[in-house]
Structure 1
Amino acid sequence: MAVSEWYQSKEGRAEHLVYLNSKAKELEKLLTNEKTMIIRGAAGKKVPLGGRAKIGDIIYFVETGGNMIVTHRAIIKDVIESEKMTPDESIAFVETYQKELNLSTEQYKRWAGKKCLAVFEIDKLEAIEPFKYRRDKNMDDWIITETIHDIKL
């Protein structure tokens, strides 16, 4: 499999392993451009991921409930983070990006109403040579690494 130019390690950029909801067909929607953004939220006082996901970072995808095999990667094209919001403001935020997020009803219920939200626009999505990774005891659905090789088996 050919290695894309953008994949070459870039100074100061992180690599992320992100879980996509298989039940909501998130990966399929990204592949068919029915979805161009993913969302994360927090019920606390801080923005999800603490602002550590940045434009230009490489993002690897694995589907929930599957065989823990990473099959695709992309670049974060844009990051939009909210300040602390009221439930109504949070719902309005999700509504603003619903076309790009294409959330299922269950996903909408999960994210709309959270105090802090962030949406991430995805670009240059491509299939990669599949690989397994070391999950350890980390139960997060978004894992930030300096290099994916740190968790690759």
Structure 2
Amino acid sequence: MKSSYYEHVEGKAEHLVYLDKKGKELEKLLEGSKTAIIRGAAGKKSPLGGRVKIGDILYFVQTGGDLLVTHRTIVTNVTETEKMLEEESIAFVDKHQDKLNLAKHQYERWAGKKFLCIIEVDRLEEIEAFEYLRESNMDDWVITQDINTIKK
């Protein structure tokens, strides 16, 4: 059943987002113990660079899985940091851990990065599963205007 809440809205992006299967991210989102996703960068700029906005739709696929997109949600808040020192980054992750519910290996991956982005979500819903065209794209976050353009 397709919810009208998710109908494409002009100017809003649709994102394909990998969730960490080992960290049980999808399960945590479904049970409500996780309400936000994190991305980070050690380089010179923010990982998503302001390209995720409130109202955007995220479609989820699990790492190490069969490339099936099974759920979607809506972005309710985005917090992107300026460049941080390692201690500031760790404190930032700690501050948001109640929303992120990171497994130990995820915490170690993100805490300490120079730039972080927290994406809060709501209204997670199961969708009719579909495969997507991975091609040579190795990113764990793919931004598109219309998810249908990357469906297999």
TM-score (norm 2): 0.99
Can you give the 5+ residue segments of structure 2 that lack an aligned partner in the other structure?
A: none
Counterpart code for 1:77 = T
SS in 2 for 1:11: coil
Rounded to whole Å, the distance in 2 between the matches of 1:146 and 1:100 is: 27
In structure 1, what is the equivalent of residue 142 of structure 2? 143
Can you give the 5+ residue segments of structure 1 that lack an aligned partner in the other structure?
A: none
Rounded to whole Å, the distance in 1 between the matches of 2:15 and 2:136 is: 17
SS in 1 for 2:72: strand
For 1:64-79, what aligned pairs fall within 5 Å after superposition?
64-79=63-78
Do residues 86 (structure 1) and 85 (structure 2) align? yes
In structure 1, what is the equivalent of residue 36 of structure 2? 37
Q: Which moved more, 1:63-72 or 1:41-50?
A: 41-50
In structure 1, what is the equivalent of residue 119 of structure 2? 120
Deviation at 1:48, TM superposition (A): 1.2
In structure 2, what is the equivalent of residue 99 of structure 1? 98
Rounded to whole Å, the distance in 2 between the matches of 1:134 and 1:96 is: 36
TM-score (norm 1): 0.98
Aligned residues, how many? 152
Runs (4+) off by over 2 Å: none
Deviation at 1:46, TM superposition (A): 1.1
Do residues 111 (structure 1) and 73 (structure 2) align? no
Rounded to whole Å, the distance in 1 between the matches of 2:109 and 2:98 is: 17
In structure 1, what is the equivalent of residue 129 of structure 2? 130
RMSD: 0.6
Deviation at 1:152, TM superposition (A): 0.4
Deviations, residues 37-71 of structure 1 (Å, cap 9, x unaligned): 00000011211111101100010000000000000
Deviation at 1:25, TM superposition (A): 0.3
